[in-house]
Each structure stands twice: as C-alpha cells, then as structure tokens.
Amino acid sequence: MSRGRPISTVLTCLLAFLAALLVPVGAAQAAPAAEDCTAVAEGRHAGTFTTAGQTHCLELPSPQGARIAALTSLGGAGVTARVELVDRNGTAQCTDGDLSRGECALTGTAPFRARVRAADAEATGPYGVHFVRTDVLQKDCPVLPAGSFADDAAAVRLETGNGVFSHCLTIPADAHSTAELLRIRYGLPEDSELFPQYSLRVIDTDGNGPSCYDHPAPGQQLRTDGLTSCSLAAGKAYTLLLQGQDAPRSHTLDRRDVTATARGCATTAATQVGAPATTGTSGANGTLRCHRITTPAAADRLRLDVRDAHDSTHTLVMDDTGRIACYQKTWACTPSGSTGYQVVTQVPQEWSLPASYRLDAWRIATATGPAPECTRAGSVAYGYGPLTGTLGEERTGVCAVLPSASGDSFRAEVATTDGGTRTPEPELYSDAGRNLCSGHASPYSCQAAGQSLFVLPLPDAVDRAAYRAQLVCTTAPCGSEDVSVATVTPTTAQSGTVATLTVTGTALGMGTTVRLTGGPAPLTATTVSVSDDARTLKATVDLRTAPAGNWNISVIVLGSQYPRGTLTVTPPAAASGHGTYKPIAPTRLMDTRIGLGVAKAKVGQGGTVTLPVTGVAGIPASGVTAVVLNVTATEPTSSSHVSVFPDGTARTSASNLNFVAGQTVPNLVVVPVVNGKVSFYNNAGSVDLIADVAGYYTTDGSGSTYKPIAPTRLMDTRIGLGVAKAKVGQGGTVTLPVTGVAGIPASGVTAVVLNVTATEPTSSSHVSVFPDGTARTSASNLNFVAGQTVPNLVVVPVVNGKVSFYNNAGSVDLIADVAGYYTTDGSGSTYKPIAPTRLMDTRIGLGVAKAKVGQGGTVTLPVTGVAGIPASGVTAVVLNVTATEPTSSSHVSVFPDGTARTSASNLNFVAGQTVPNLVVVPVVNGKVSFYNNAGSVDLIADVAGYYTT
C-alpha cells in the first residue's frame, strides 16, 4: 500500500484548483510583477490615486509583437488618467495617444508595463483603464453585426456609467464588405453639468486604421446621430474602440454595406433631365434610407438631388466600390465614374422632419457630351433666354447646353410668374460637374469654364413653380466668337413701306443698331429679332416718309461702328391691297342697346346697320383693308343668322353668327373695309348687336405679318397646362405665357390667334381676353350659360409675352389652342381680304361630296385657285365654319391637309345645335381638312380672306 500525501499539500492543491475556477473564461493570466508593479489582466482595471502626483505601474501579460489599446474615461466619475507604455528595460513603447487609438505595437522586451498618472497632477481618487488587444479579435468584444437599410437593421446598444466608460466591438474578417457606413446614435444625458463626448476608432489586426471619414451633421456641436464611412480591406478583421465617459450614457452602433451589394437599397435607373422623381418616406429623424441609382456607362455624369417640404433631407452618395462620391449635404451633387451609386438619405436630429421626399436622379451628361434632351443654344454672346414655363412633378427641370467660353460671366435672373414663394435656383455646370453659380437669391452670379450646362430644377417645398429665367452676359460678347458684321440686305427698298433689313455676322445682339444716313434726317432701324446663333439679325426701318435715293448703312455693335454699303430707296408703288396687322387694345365700337356707333335700336328682320370703323379707336382714316371684330348677338326674338360684310358691296350667302331666340352668341369676324365702314345684316326677328374691335389690316407696311402654326394646345385649366390647375373663379384672372413656346418666338410677337373654349361653367358669365399688364376694357370674347361648352376665336395683342383671361361670374374651365401669331420680323405673310364667299356646304355638295361628316370622319376642301384665292403662295385662310344639324354632342377640328391632327378643336356643339366659329387655318397642298369626333354633322365654310407670302 502506497503512502498518502500530507494534508497540507492536498489543501494547497485544492486551493489552487478553486482559484483557477474563479478566473473568467478567456481572460489573460496576470504574470508575476516586478516589486513596484501590479500584475493586471487585459480588460478593465480600476485603481486609486491616494496622493497627488502619484504614478501607478501596471504590468501586462501581453507578449512581444502584440498590439494594444489603453482607453481611459473622457470625463465623469473618478480621475481622468493618462497612460504610457514601456518594456521591462524602461524603453518607451507607446504614448497616451498611441494607446487611445489602439496603435500601440509592443516591440520591446516583455513584460510590458503601463505607467498611469492623473491628467491633473493634483488630483486624487479612483480611475480606470481599459486594456484591449487589437492584433487578435477578443472574445469579450462582441461582434457588430452587418445590417441593411431596412427599418429593422441589426444594432448593438452599449451603456456607460458605474465604472464603465469604454467598449470594444469586432468585425470578423469574412463578415464585411470593402466599404461600410457606421452609425452611432448617442443618447443625450439628463445631466447638463458634464458636456457629453465620445470617440469611435476602427483598427485592423495589423494595427492599421482604415480610411474613415466622419460625416458631420450641420449645426450640431455633438454628433448625437453620427455617420462614418470606412474603407475596409478584404480578408481583414477589425476592432472598434468606443471611448466615452464614466457617466450614464447610451451608444447604439450599427453598420451597413454601401457598395453595389448593399442590402435594402431600392434600385432605379437614372432618368432624363426633368423626369418625375422617385419618392420615399422619411421615417423618424435619423432614419437611413437607401436608393441605388444605375446608369449605363461609368463615364455618365448624374445629378442627384433630394427635395422635401423643409429642405431638411441630407444625402450621402457612394459609388459601386463604396467610395464617397458626394459628402453629406442638402443640395445637388454630380458624380461620375461608376455605373451605380448608393444614395443614402437622412434627416438629422434637430432638423425639421418632412413626411416624405423626392429624389431626382438625372443623367445630365455621357461620354459624348451633355444629355441629348437639353436644348442646344446657338450663341450666348449676350446671354441666354428668357425662358418661361412651369415646373412640376411631371416636369421637374429644364436644361440647355450653352456654347460659353472660360472667363464668361453671367447674371442669372429668375422670377416666379404665378406669385409662388419659392423660385427655381439656376445651376451652371462645367464639364467636370461643378456648379459655377453662386448666390441665394436672384440675381445669381454664374461663371463659365468652357461649354456649360444650364439647369433649372424644381425647388424644394413646392409641387409647382411657374418661372421666367434669363442669363445676361456681363462680359459681352460671351462665347468663342467676336463681333463681326458681314452683309446688310436688301440693298433696295420702296419708299412708303416699312422695310425689313437682314444683317449677317457674328455675335450680333438685340442691342445692335442699324442706322441710315444721307437723307434729310438719319433713320434708325428697330431690331426685332436675332437668330439663335447670333449670326442673323432682323431690323425694320420706317420708309413711309423717306425720300427716294441712296442711304448709307452703318451697323453699331457694342459701341463700334461698321459701315456696310448703301440702301437704295425707290419711289413708292401703288398699294397692292395686301395688308399687315396692327393689334389694338380690345375696344367696343358698336352696341345697339345704347346707341354706340349706330342708332339705338334692335336690328329688325332683313335689316342692316352700317358702322364707321376708320378714324376711331386708334384706327387710321385711310389705308385700312379689313378689321377684326368680335361680334355678339344678344336678346334675339327668334332664330336667325347675322352676316357681316363690306359697306357698299353686295351681300353674299355667307353668314357669321347663328342663334336661337333668347341666346347670346359671340363670333370673331375679319371683314373687309370699304368706304371706311362695315355692315351688319339680320335675317329674321330682331336682335341687338355688339362689336368689339381687336385690330386692323393696313397697306402702309407698318403692321405685323402672320405666321400660321399647327394648332397647338397652350392652356387647359382642367389639367394645369400652361397655368395652374383650377377653374377661373368669379372676377378671377389667369395669365398665360405665349412667347417662347409651341414654335412662337420669344420676341417680336405683337399678337396671337387663339381658339378659346369655355367649358363646365357653374353659371352664366362672359370671358374677356386681353393683353397682360393692361387695363381690361368692357370688350368680351365668350358668352355662356351654366354647363355650356362654347369656343370662340380670339386675336389678342401680346404684352410682356403673355395674355390674360378674365371670368365675370361663377367659375369656369378655360382651354386655349394657338393657330398662329403676328410678328414684326417681316418673315410672315400679308393678308388679302375678299368678299365673304361660301366654299363648302356638305348639305348640297358644295366643295366636297354631299354627305354629313360621320363619327371620326374627315373631309378635305381645296381652297386655292377658287373665289379669287391664288393657286400658290397661300399660307393660311380665314374661314367662318358652321356646324349644323348634328346628331349628337361632338367637336370639329380644322387642320392643314396632310398633317397630323392635334388635340386642338374649333367647334363644340350638342345634338341639333347650329354653331359657327371663325378659323384661321394653315394651308398645305392647297387644302384644309375638317374632322368630326362623334355622331354626324353638316359643315359649312365661308372664306373671308387669305394670307400669302
């Protein structure tokens, strides 16, 4: 039998075994320390300075080659400590800063010793130090899980206080992408005596800190909801060191992949400039949302911007590798170099929280240049614009490519035209995507760096913005071309006319002056238009009193004078009867109810009244070939029709107004003037007649020529086209921009021809159409009753590029279709009035086959070479079109032969109704076409005149 061990030996072994059981799993063992040092384990250590200036020596178990961090409290309970590290020989290893960053490499001889002292040499009391190995992942440092951009993204919550002031987290080598977005949410304490602070550091197992960037939330001294972007090396593990305060605080951390593989990002493709935006909900303050925007080529340049009701949503943009493409901000950014971008949105703490936001993601350029949908300006010698229009969620921006040059300087003037509170802010982008406009209100200052891209976006906080925008060159001429003057044509012109001169050259502008000298007094031409490339200028010069002879021509540009030959003025020719148009403010010339212009009396059955129209209301006493009148029949005693015709001529079968007893009906009439008068005939019963003049045609050459265009809808209050989406209320006025749209030039326009339709009125009323910015007169254009749809042609002067519409009572929707415009540039057609003549009547087969026009049917009428209209050179005809005996409610559109019919209509009627309306329609192939939408109807067309080149 063997001999047993002494009891003392057994007890000693038992105590050693129990002591071993008390050591926490995974904790390093404290090695025996030198006599003046205390052996400590890695992890948290607490000590106390009992005397001022005391230094404690703590001996670590960490081996040579290890890397270690020593974290101390940034405030709160206890004494703030400072730590430095030496090896066993006293050789310095790391400073306090190295240790707090986790970058301390133990290169000396073990054991290594931490020397701890108070930051304040006089301070005594408890302190703490947190030792963390960073060259290997520590088991007591929990993993920070990878999250997504979903609302339930994984996070870790860490608390401090009661002796705890720091934490560590780990990111395993196989659990991260190459670019991560870290978020830390800091719970503000209730106490206010201690200013809160913390720091977050990331370090890999080799002791290298990744490339990280903190994204500050503007206006916040403390990052209570901070974002940090980090580039992480593939296959590397990382330790996160959170250093805070020994005070009750909470810290919530999460991380998300921000490369092309980011989870929770909704993917959409970049759009054209001005396309509808992507919408998103904001969530709570601090909530992160992610949108992945893709584009076909890495060379594409995008414009990314978030709009909301408060301008509070910040964006942070990363490319597909996770590289920061745009730092956190609330305004647009223009990245390039990737086929995809992660757009992260957030409304930081303390910022006003909108319920939702809209993300514009436009592709503004490709490798071949700016986006093709952007208008290409021909020249910016004196600027660009003005542009007018309306931005809304269906059209969120407009753009233009400007041929500017480096050093050009522009003044950007932007204004709202609908009384809105937010004005679009201009952006002028260089090829590198830099916005070169500055300022916070109009006018803005914009510089150019070579070719520029001009962008005008819908601003924050509004769903719609009507605008007028213009760039004015302040260093004229801008662009790459200098001023030059090549030719001035023609070289001959007739006395007694207003001649149009054409100047060719480069960098010509509206400020260019053409002057004629050599006669009794110098003559200065009026510049009426400049081509988009600034190489062709049109100017009109009044030669009505100029004597025949040779006049010297000089062109003056930017103060420099360029002599350019002579203009030979020939004697005046006999008047041809072709006239140009002079618009005037709508003025009432006749009202039989009160005896204005004619005797006070209804016009009886078979009766005629004759109205003098020359020498009144600004109409000259001679040289007038025709007048434009809005004629209204009111309070008729029976069904009848009225014909308007030149005084002293035989009345034809053509009619202008059709009505039933008690009805008020207006219609526009263009009637030749003979003996300075026009006559009005009533067929049956008796009726009061009213006539409002809108303008006249003159042979003196001083008026405007006409340019027909394909009928185009400019305004529809039912859908918000051209103006706000709303009925026009009682006493209300809406103003419509008409220049610079639908092929109408931005300048030189004196009047437009509009077919105006009133629909769904709530009560009987009338509508007046008049020039913007002028006093409205008593003249009216449309009269209607509740529920009625009524069209009428209107020729209205243009002031400030706009016309206005006034409704007298109730509320009504208004539609306006443009048929053409009058211009001072001399490029249009002149008008030749003829005696009103019937060209078409489907009831008897006149002009077309004898048959009603059926549903969806079209008839085509030859209009040249008949009734005195020439066989060629005719650009448009003036027709009074009447729909009669329709079988159902419908509308009729009149349009040029051989062209695509647009949505514009000319007549609206119900079953059994007879409705006339004046139409000015372009002529193509010598013909015009008539389309009926529903049921079947007979159509009549009476010609009043034609336009010719």
- Closest to 881 in 3D by CA, of 819, 927, 941: 941
What residues pair up with 355 in beta bridges, in sequence order?
none
In degrees rounded to 5, what are phi and psi of residue 17? -65, -45
Least Cα distance to 700 among 949, 945, 494 occurs for 494
Count of CB atoms situated within 10 Å of the CB of 797: 22
The secondary structure of residue 721, as a DSSP letter, is: B
Number of Cβ atoms within 10 Å of the Cβ of 485: 24
The most distant pair of C-alpha atoms in the chain lies apart, rounded to whole Å, by 158
Q: What's 134's DSSP letter?
A: -
Say what the alpha-carbon torsion angle 220, 222, 225, 226 is, to the nearest 10 degrees.
100
- Between strands 802-807 and 915-922, the pairing is unpaired
Angstrom distances, CA of residue 659 to CA of 481, 636, 878: 62, 8, 21
CB-based contact 308:356 (threshold 8 Å) = yes
> Cα(821)–Cα(139) distance, rounded to whole angstroms?
82
* CA–CA separation, 376 and 362 (whole Å): 18
* Structure token digits, residue 523: 């003559």
Q: Does residue 22 carry a pLDDT above 80?
A: no
Mean of pLDDT values over 911-919: 88
Whole-angstrom distance, CA of residue 796 vs CA of residue 586 = 8
Query: Is pTM beyond 0.85 here?
Result: no
For 531-557, how does the pLDDT look when each residue is reduced to its tens digit (9 = 90+)? 999 999 999 999 878 888 999 999 999
Query: What type of residue is 895?
Result: F
Count other C-beta atoms under 10 Å from residue 532's C-beta.
14
For CA atoms 939, 940, 943, 944, give the dihedral sign. Answer: negative
User: Which amino acid, one-letter code, is at 668?
Assistant: L
Q: Which DSSP helix (H) or strand (E) runs through 147?
A: strand 146-147
Question: Is the pLDDT at 33 greater than 90, yes or no?
Answer: no
Residue 278 has φ and ψ, to the nearest 5°, of: -85, 140
pLDDT of residue 19: 33
Q: Which of 262-271, 406-415, 438-447, 666-675 has the lowest mean pLDDT?
A: 666-675
In which element (H, E) is residue 20 found?
helix 7-22
pLDDT at 188 over 50: yes
C-alpha to C-alpha distances, 131 to 83, 101, 249, 467, 548, nearest whole angstrom: 11, 12, 21, 64, 105
Provide the pLDDT for residue 26.
Answer: 31
For residue 98, which phi and psi values (nearest 5 degrees)? -60, -45
Cβ neighbours, 10 Å, residue 933 = 17
Answer yes or no: is pLDDT of 23 > 50: no
* Total Cβ atoms within 10 A of residue 206: 12
In the chain, DSSP finds a helix count (H) and a strand count (E) of 2, 69
- H/E segment holding residue 878: strand 874-884
Q: Which amino acid is at 625?
A: T
Provide, rounded to the nearest whole percent, the portion of the chain with pLDDT above 90: 68
Using alpha carbons, list the distances in angstroms from residue 894 to 44, 829, 922, 934, 941.
Answer: 90, 20, 9, 15, 11
Q: Kindly state the tokens that stand for 377.
A: 């300006």
Phi then psi for residue 703, to 5 deg, are -90, -165
Residue 737 structure tokens? 């921009």
pLDDT beyond 70 at 574: no
Place 191 in a pLDDT band, splitting at 50, 70 and 90: low
Phi first, then psi, for residue 81 (nearest 5°) are -110, 155
Question: Which candidate, 796, 813, 715, places its Cα nearest to that of 761?
Answer: 813
Mean pLDDT of the chain: 90
pLDDT digits (tens, 9 = 90+) for 114-139: 999 999 999 999 999 999 999 999 99
Q: How far is CA 570 from the centre of its chain?
A: 52
pLDDT band at 220 (very low <50, low <70, confident <90, very high): low
Query: Cβ–Cβ contacts within 10 Å for residue 155, how many?
Result: 15
Using left for φ > 0, alpha for ψ between -120 and 50, and beta otherwise, residue 801 falls in left
Q: Is 8 helix (H, G, I), strand (E, B) or coil?
A: helix
Tell me: the pLDDT tens digits for 612-647? 999 998 899 888 888 998 899 999 999 998 988 888
Q: How many other C-beta atoms are found inside a 10 Å radius of the C-beta of residue 913?
A: 16
pLDDT on residue 36: 83
443's tokens: 């006018």
Give the span between the Cα atoms of 100 and 131, in whole angstroms.
Answer: 10
Residues 837, 123: Cα–Cα separation, whole Å = 112
Q: How far is 933 from 855, CA to CA, in rounded Å?
A: 5
**Listed residue (929, 921, 917) closest to 883, CA to CA:** 917
What is the residue type of 830? Answer: T
The answer to whether 770 and 795 have CB atoms below 8 angstroms apart is: no
Q: For the chain, percent helix, then strand, then coil, each to nearest 5?
A: 0, 50, 45
Query: What's the pLDDT score for residue 31?
Result: 39
Q: What token pair was written down for 212? A: 């990280």
> Which one has a higher pLDDT value, 210 or 645?
645
Please choose, from the candidates 748, 730, 729, the residue with its C-alpha nearest in 3D space to the C-alpha of residue 739: 748
What is the C-alpha to C-alpha distance for residues 651 and 594, in angstroms, rounded to an integer?
A: 26
Model pLDDT, residue 203: 94
Positive/negative CA dihedral, 203, 204, 209, 213: negative
Rounded distance between C-alpha atoms, residue 510 and residue 574, angstroms: 33
Q: Is 729 helix (H, G, I), strand (E, B) or coil?
A: coil
Asked whether 867 and 943 are in contact (CB, 8 A), the reply is: yes
Name beta bridge partners: 896: 928
Q: What is the pLDDT of residue 6?
A: 33
Q: What is the DSSP letter of 812?
A: B
**Do residues 387 and 361 make contact, with C-beta atoms less than 8 angstroms apart?**
no
> What does the pLDDT read at residue 657?
85
pLDDT of res. 13: 33
Counting every residue written for the chain, the total comes to: 949
Peptide bond into 490 cis (omega under 30): yes
Rounded alpha-carbon distances, angstroms, from residue 257 to 264, 370, 666 = 10, 32, 70
- Average pLDDT of span 818-844: 87
- Sheet strand arrangement including 549-557: 492-494, 560-570, 549-557, 513-517, 523-524
For residue 699, is pLDDT > 90?
A: no
> Could you report the per-residue pLDDT of 853-870, keeping only the tens digit for each?
999 999 999 999 988 899
Contact 684, 659 (CB under 8 A): no
